[in-house]
Structures are given as structure tokens and as C-alpha cells.
Amino acid sequence: MTREQIEAVALALPAATKVVQWGGSDVYKVGGKVFAICGLRGGLSFKVSQIGFEVLTQGGPARQAPYLHKGSWVIVDLDAADDADMTDWLVNAHALIAAKLPRLKRQELALR
């Protein structure tokens, strides 16, 4: 998946925004909280569940994301997975972060 395709998928998610920071990385947020970073070390970093972390890092295409050692973040090379998997990972990362937003913030952003 290209950076442009990742951007299209990420920004199609509810209340998602993009900023460029950290040396030119595309940083995707929901409610001001980061759910994915594209460009950090040439890959896509994203939030996963504990189970997702184990599955993706033990025999899967991912490894522990650098600089994001807390909270189950992984990084995948952009060409290491098919587009459907990348899309699913972005959707799930967005959902994980959105679910942790305060109730009023979720209501304000029209998130469930």
C-alpha cells in the first residue's frame, strides 16, 4: 500500500485527521489522539490490542514500533502485507483509540 492509499483509508474513518510531524511522518489522529503513523522508519505504525500485538509480532509481518514501546504499537513495512490487511489494521487502530476517548468527546465527534 502506498502512503497515498493509507491516507485515503485513514481519512475516510470517522473524525480522523492528519498532521505532518516527527520528521515528515503522516500522523493520523481521532479526537486528538494518534492511531497510526506512516513514514516512521519507512513503514506504518499503528495501535493494536494485546492479542493483536502477539499475533503480528510473533511470526507475523510486524515488529515492536520504535519510540512507541508502551501501549501495544507495531510497525509494518508498507509492502509487507496486502491492502485488505492494512485497511483492517487502520480501522481497528482507529476503533481502539476512539473507544478510549471520553464519552463527551465521542459524542462531540459523532463516534459510538
**What does the pLDDT look like over 34-92, one tens digit per residue?**
999 998 777 999 999 999 999 999 988 999 988 777 779 999 999 888 999 999 999 99
Of residues 93 and 69, the one with the higher pLDDT is 93
> How far is CA 72 from each of CA 17, 25, 32, 59, rounded to the nearest angstrom?
21, 19, 18, 16
> In which band, very low, low, confident or very high, does the pLDDT at 110 lie, cut at 50, 70 and 90?
very high
- CATH number at 86 reads 3.90.1150.30
Please give the residue range of the domain that contains residue 56. 3-108
Answer yes or no: are the C-beta atoms of 43 and 77 closer than 8 Å: yes
For residue 23, the model assigns a pLDDT of 84
Domain count, the chain: 1
